[in-house]
Structure 1
């Protein structure tokens, strides 16, 4: 039995106006994956006037993306 996971896992950490985003991309990403991801990031930024964003993107398990992604 094969298990094929795809999409993003996200971890957001905030400290005043600083946000640290850790993203892990797995499998072949689609436009729908971004439709799930973007509102989570927008919610983390809400209310911050001048956010300082630091991000780490782990693509070691990513297999590519669809054209629309």
Structure 2
């Protein structure tokens, strides 16, 4: 049995039609990780017309995705991408910063990279 830590933890807060989601990704994400997280997100936004979601995504301990998990991530973006307004991505290093820039270029929401959670929260609250 492997002791490699991996997974997604999600926290969701709601204020009117505005959602704040914290997302922490650890290790190499799997399809099973997305099977856990996606229903939580969908349940939180069910019945809300035109939800507006801001996300604080901590990927500082992310090692990547399995291929099927990467597909799950793409499907999530296609299904719910318009519900997201801003995603503040907190991480370390050039590769994670580059991933954030790619997300900003190819998605309908604003995505920005930060090395500090404090700065990320300030940007989300602007």
TM-score, scaled to structure 2? 0.51
Instruction: Pick the structure with more strand per residue.
Output: 1
**Displacement of 1:22 after TM fit?**
0.6
SS where residue 67 of structure 2 aligns?
coil
State the partner residue of 2:20.
Answer: 20
SS where residue 59 of structure 1 aligns?
strand
**Displacement of 1:65 after TM fit?**
1.0
**Displacement of 1:4 after TM fit?**
3.0
Which runs of structure 1 show a deviation greater than 6 angstroms over 4 or more consecutive aligned residues? none
Instruction: Pick the structure with more helix per residue.
Output: 2
SS where residue 5 of structure 2 aligns?
coil
- Larger RCO: Structure 1 or Structure 2 (Cα < 8 Å, ≥ 6 residues apart)? 1
- Confirm or deny that 1:4 pairs with 2:4: yes
**What is the CA RMSD across the aligned residues, in angstroms?**
1.4
For residues 5 and 21 of structure 1, the distance between their equivalents in structure 2, rounded to whole angstroms, comes to: 22
